[in-house]
Structure 1
Amino acid sequence: MAKLNAVHWRRIAVFVLSLLPFIWILQAIVRVQMGEWDLLGPEPGKAIVWFTGSWAFNFLLITLAVTPLTRLAGQRWLMTHRRMLGLFAFFYVTVHLLSYFMFLLEWRWQELAAETVKRPYLLVGMLAWLMLIPLAITSTRGWQRQLGRRWKRLHQLAYAIGVLAALHYLMQIRSSWLEPGLYA
């Protein structure tokens, strides 16, 4: 077996650290199902959707922060992990969406249109997720070569997605605007 160099160890560390929120929410769900103790409060479905949405937004912001941090701090090694962080952002957004469908809509697809009319932030969030799909699909080096300059232009959608994510979050707030304002 070949020795792992520093880049490989960092990739493993970034991967494992990026999975920790998912592992935490999974174990909380299992514990709630087993009746051990309620880590998720009186409305576990809402807590799961909120938790996964927060981590989706966190990963989106972390991914968007890589380029400025690389430029400001001169830490070029951060760029090697941007793709993985972006894919984790897509993963958490997808888990957030599935959590919403599973725990809040309870797979009642026929109610989606009525919910979207009542809660327009759902439409904004869905648009952000739909815009993330081509970024996730084209995140490989092969797609980068195939698309050439268009790849970079396509991946600049991440900034618009960040704005949509902030809007999605802000549109849901009924009381404290501090945290959503900071995210935005």
Structure 2
Amino acid sequence: MNKTIRKLLVFIGSLLPLGWILWKVVRLQSGEWDVLGPEPGRAIVFFTGTWTFVFLLLGLAASTFKRWGVPWLMMHRRMIGLFAFFYATLHLLAYMAFLLEWQWADIASEIIERPYLTFGFAGWALLVPLAFTSLRYWQRKLGKRWKRLHQLAYVVAVLVAVHYLLQIRSNWFEPVLYSSLMAILLLERAFFVLNKRIKTKI
């Protein structure tokens, strides 16, 4: 498949979750009160958070798939990473709008007092410099430091997984599933790096 066409398809596919939730919101505004459940605001927060995790998983899986002989995902990792930041930002804004109702005085105390928010906000904050320096200009300008900076993606992955797991109340399946997939990808990466260093020394 042509690279440009594939890039366009990845871009459109990445926007589909946004289109789906906007369609639900439009239906909600038209009077279909049950389309997002009894707590629409909380449903939007959860939805955007889940898709943030999905894009983080795809970003981490790109290098793993490349090592397994499937390189096309790696070609779009920058776009996938930017969509992870995009949905993470929507997730944060949805939380502030629907659950905190823009009570600015409460935002700082909520982040400090609730561990799951502390981990989640820390993950989002680390995504900011990664998104900002994703352009090739910064890759050239920072040189080797760019690669070290973008290794923060692994830290973000751990923070987001902990953020998700700390929110488990009754429905544990998705948080445990996504976090387990994240752990597998991180362990695969760690094994690859360790194995590479051993071979280099030999």
Q: TM-score range by the shorter chain?
A: over 0.9
Write the distance in 2 (CA, Å) between the matches of 1:34 and 1:152. Answer: 48
Read off the aligned partner of 1:61 and give its amino acid letter.
L
1:38-66 Cα deviation digits (max 9, x unpaired):
21000000000000000011011111100
Is 2:81 the partner of 1:91? Answer: no
Query: Which consecutive unaligned segments of at least 5 residues does structure 1 have?
Result: none
Question: Following the alignment from structure 1 to structure 2, what is the Cα–Cα distance between the partners of residues 61 and 182?
Answer: 11
CA displacement 1:48-92 (0-9 Å, x = unmatched): 0000000011011111100000111x1223221000000000000
Query: Residue 188 of structure 2 aligns with which residue?
Result: none
Paired letter, 2:142: L
Q: CA deviation at 1:132?
A: 0.3
Aligned CA RMSD, in angstroms, stands at: 1.3
Matches within 5 A, 1:52-131: 52-72=48-68, 74-131=69-126
Cα-to-partner distance string for 1:103-133 (whole Å, 9 max, x where unaligned) = 1111111111332344221111110000000
CA apart distance, 1:6: 0.4
* Aligned mate of 1:144, from 133, 139, 152: 139
Paired amino acid for 1:127? A
Distance 1:76 1:169 in 2: 29
User: One-letter code of the match for 2:47?
Assistant: F
Would you identify which runs of 4 or more consecutive aligned residues in structure 1 move more than 4 Å? none
Aligned counterpart, 2:155: 160
In the superposition, the TM-score normalised over structure 2's length comes to 0.85
Structure 1 pair 44–81 and aligned structure 2 pair: CA distance change class (3 A):
same
Percent identity of paired positions between Structure 1 and Structure 2? 60
- Measure, in 2, the Cα distance between the counterparts of 1:8 and 1:38: 40
> How far does residue 174 in structure 1 lie from its aligned partner after superposition?
1.6
> Number of residues paired by the alignment?
179
Counterpart Cα distance in 1 of 2:50 and 2:27:
21
Residue number among 25, 40, 45 corresponding to 1:49 in the alignment: 45
Distance 2:111 2:92 in 1: 13
**2:25 paired with 1:24:** no
Name the SS for the 2:72 alignment partner.
helix
On the 8 A contact 1:31/1:38 being kept in 2, the answer is no
Distance in 2 of aligned mates of 1:30 and 1:178: 29
Structure 2 gap ranges (5+): 180-202
